[in-house]
Structure 1
Amino acid sequence: MPTEPGIETAAAGLRRQLADRLERDGRLRSRQWRAAVEAVPRHAFVPRFYRESDTPGVTTWEPVTPENVGKEEWLRLVYTDETWMTQFDGRDIDWADPQPISNAAPTSSSTLPSLVVRMLEDLDVHAGMNVLEIGTGTGYSTALLCHRLGSERVTSIETDEGVGRRARDALSTAGYEPHLLVGDGRAGHLDGAPYDRLIATCGFRNIPPAWLEQVLPGGVILTTLRGWMRSLGPVKLIVTGDSASGWFSEDDPSFMIARQQDAPENLGVIPGSDDGTTRKATYGPDVLTDSGPAFMAQLAAPDARFFSTAVDGGPVSTFVLDRVTDSFAVLVPADRGWQVRQGGPRRLWDAIESAVGTWEEYGSPSAAAFGVTVSVDAQVVWLGNPSGPQWPLPS
């Protein structure tokens, strides 16, 4: 989009206001990152986007462009602390005639600035460091890194060719020329290694071994671990040779999962009414959605997903299906509680209840009480310390 003097002047003022707000909220803590926020034109990276409509019913996304909402409102929205969607279902949008979108999964976005800045602050970069970014997206966070370190110090990998091309154009327009690649971020970029820092702006089910090999000892890996049911949260790992360890943060952002690790479309086989064995459940299906217990459920059943539906006119039942092992658990309301029916190689609800029980035994702590240790041979999440209760990450 061609720049206009009026837009550039207004945008500069909105960037200062955004920096003020992020600083007041404790997200923006250093003068270097404040300078980056004030300098990088976010509107160059989200010239058009989608926002969720407030229309009741099916989730619908409506397009936002300078033409359909007016330049002033478009620019105001760009510099609010919101995530704006820029792609759905991996398909490019026809911006010549953008239409509302329903029944679609967002696959690329410009993440809310407060989260971007918090992660960059936590990355703890210093002048002269080389950074590998996994997930270029719109290129906004890449531009912030370039402003802070210099373009020659930044390498960024995007899995989607169209998304990567648009990010390259936006970065060039804004005056930044980092090393940009299209590929599978799990492989990193060996030719540019070693790196002092690695930051991932999409969720991963585990830590790719290539990252351990390409980040220097003492370096930082900052990513979000997530599963097929929910996000576990951001984790900051310090690399020590061929292993790394660190802690989750208090925050619980739900980054899109890396496309190469997305769940299979098929949920699995729904069990018959007579399959499995039945017992009284200690916990009901709310543990799958309540924040702390759901964190534990994701750890205990990393390959599972769930849904609720009425069967043959009966009460609403919750199905937990493990696509990898074809194990299942079905929760049905019973007198003053729930019954669970389980089958397959793994007793899913036994594992979930055991994990939730451990969490309660330790005082129902936040995610910040959990840490991660990864090596070539194993990857585990632990509670309290590396010798505490452990749950393996999926391989």
Structure 2
Amino acid sequence: MSTPAELRAALVDRLTGDGVLADPAWRAAAAAVPREAFVPEYFLTVPASAPTAYAPVLHGDPGRLEGIYRDQTLVTQLDGHLSPSDVQGAAVGAPSSSSTLPSLVLEMWQQLGAEAGHRVLEIGTGTGYSTALGAHRLGEHNVVSVEVDPGIGARAAEAIKAAGYSPTLVIGDGLAGYADGGPYDRLIATCSIRYLPLPWLHQVRPGGKILATFTGWSFAFGLALLTVTGPGCASGRFLPGHVNFMVARPHDRPPRQPITLLSGDARPSEIDPTILSDWTGKWVAQLAAPSAEIIGAGEQQILVDSATGSHARTAPNSDGGWTVTQRGPLRLWDQVEAAIQAWRQHGAPHQQGFGITIDGDGQRVWIGTEDGPTWNLPI
């Protein structure tokens, strides 16, 4: 049976071989920080369960350590309060906290460009594993981490201290940042957001970097690296890959109301609805209809607007195309169609072809250049 140190070394070797750990300093951090100290127990998805169920893996269970050192995200809390030791057998619930897969944590730290001497604000302490990595690499006095959940924050603080690190840990609303520790050279968010909170822009110095994942109520995601250009202003680009995080609680969608698909105006759809099953296609649709939730799959898509009750639904028709039916003050499918067509006219790039600008006029996502197709984020 392998020891934790052996499992950790094997993980570091795999991530190095995969090209994730290109920076020797971050490789040393990954080799030093014991993930098992931060994830003593976790949930694993029960295969083929519907609705999705989660089985607890507790201290002493066979395979627990091997699971910790696989490159996988480990759910550590359900429904905002259930930990693995709180349940007997499999439980159904919504994941509300997790330990992100190590490859992504380490890749994001490297994408942030954080170096020794940089002062960094981390939004979302979670288990504390990422925080400890940052403290090891940058110096614990240079890391400030904010966690909204007091219980999660207390457990993380114990684990971080036990691992030998003493960064500044704050319990509070991460969307407000932590002005007392600023100004910062870098900010990294381990939750996703609908728009960039203005306090972050004022707490990171001009020239500093912000790495954050943007999302919406349709749960499409895009990771962006921004440079702060002045007080309240920033610009940047979205990065390659496929990154998603749990939504910051204040930015999460309102509770879903019962869906009643009433009659409406029907017409042929000008786009294939299956494009909304594509990673970037769904992202574009979300930009076009930011207060809507996309439900469904394939040719049968349903969009429901939380603010107005507007909805749209698609279905294949007998002509080999698709029919869309819309109802309410917002013509959701019209908005999505126009956005998808504009995206395709610009080559249908992955999100790395998108950029973002934040200034006194709002927060805007665009394709190619700031003169390209543009959508306002909901702030």
TM-score, scaled to structure 1 = 0.91
Whether the 8 Å CA contact 2:201–2:234 is kept in 1: the answer is yes
Shift of 1:67: 2.3
Give the share of equivalent positions with the same residue, in percent.
Answer: 45
Q: CA deviation at 1:284?
A: 3.8
- Offset, 1:388: 1.1
For the structure 1 residues 197 and 333, does the alpha-carbon distance in structure 2 shift closer, same or farther, using more than 3 Å as the test?
same
Give how far 1:96 is off: 6.3
**From 179, 199, 208, the counterpart of 2:188:** 199
Cα deviation 1:127-154 (Å, max 9, x = unaligned): 2111000000000000000001111111
Give 3-state SS (helix, strand or coil) of 1:307's partner: strand
Asked if 1:214 corresponds to 2:203, the answer is yes
5+ residue gaps, structure 2: none
Report deviation, 1:68: 2.6
* Deviation for aligned residue 1:268: 6.8
Question: What is the DSSP-based 3-state SS (H/G/I as helix, E as strand, rest coil) of the residue aligned with 1:363?
Answer: coil
8 Å Cα contact 2:147-2:170 kept in structure 1: yes
Report what 1:379 is aligned to: 363
1:365 aligns with 2:349: yes
How many equivalent residue pairs? 376
> 1:262: which partner in 2?
252
| CA displacement at 1:292 relative to structure 2 | 2.6
- 1:285: Cα distance to partner? 3.0
CA distance in 2, matches of 1:57, 1:279: 34
Matches within 5 A, 1:3-152: 10-69=3-62, 73-93=63-83, 95=85, 98-102=88-92, 104-152=93-141
Q: Partners in 2 of 1:272 and 1:383 — Cα distance?
A: 35
Whether the 8 Å contact between 1:142 and 1:154 is mirrored in structure 2 is yes
Q: Distance between the aligned counterparts of 1:163 and 1:351, measured in 2? A: 40
- Matched-pair contact (CA < 8 Å) for 1:232–1:298: no
Within 2, Cα distance between the matches of 1:101 and 1:184? 28
- C-alpha spacing 1:246/1:96, structure 2 compared with 1 (3 Å): closer
Letter in 1 for 2:132: A
Deviations 1:309-332 (A, max 9, x none): 9xxxxxx95421111132221223
2:85 is paired with a residue whose SS is coil
**Contact 1:196–1:215 at 8 Å: present in 2 too?**
yes
Report the equivalent of 1:272: 262
Query: Match of 1:67, SS?
Result: coil
Q: Could you report, residue by residue, the CA deviation over 1:142-189 in whole angstroms, capped at 9, with x for unpaired residues?
A: 000000111111111111111111100100111111111111111001
The gaps in structure 1 that reach 5 residues or longer are 1-5, 310-315
What is the CA–CA distance in structure 2 between the aligned matches of 1:251 and 1:262, rounded to whole Å? 23
What is the RMSD of the two structures over their aligned residues, measured on CA atoms? 1.8
Where 1:66 maps in the other structure, the secondary structure is coil
Aligned equivalent of 2:308: 325
Render the CA deviation track for 1:352-385: whole Å, top value 9, x for unaligned. 1111111111112111000111124310111001
- Separation (CA, whole Å) in 1 of partners of 2:355 and 2:228: 14
Aligned to 1:3: none
Give the deviation of 1:98 after TM superposition: 4.1
TM-score w.r.t. length of structure 2: 0.95
Paired residue type of 2:346: Y
Partner of 2:217: 228
Question: What is the Cα deviation at residue 305 of structure 1?
Answer: 0.9
| Cα separation, partners in 2 of 1:209 and 1:182, compared to 1, 3 Å | same
Secondary structure class of the residue paired with 1:298:
helix
What CA deviation, in whole Å up to 9, does each residue of 1:213-256 have, x standing for no partner? 00001000001001111232210000111311111111112211
Displacement of 1:282 after TM fit?
1.4
Deviation at 1:18, TM superposition (A): 1.1
Aligned-pair distance for 1:307? Answer: 2.7
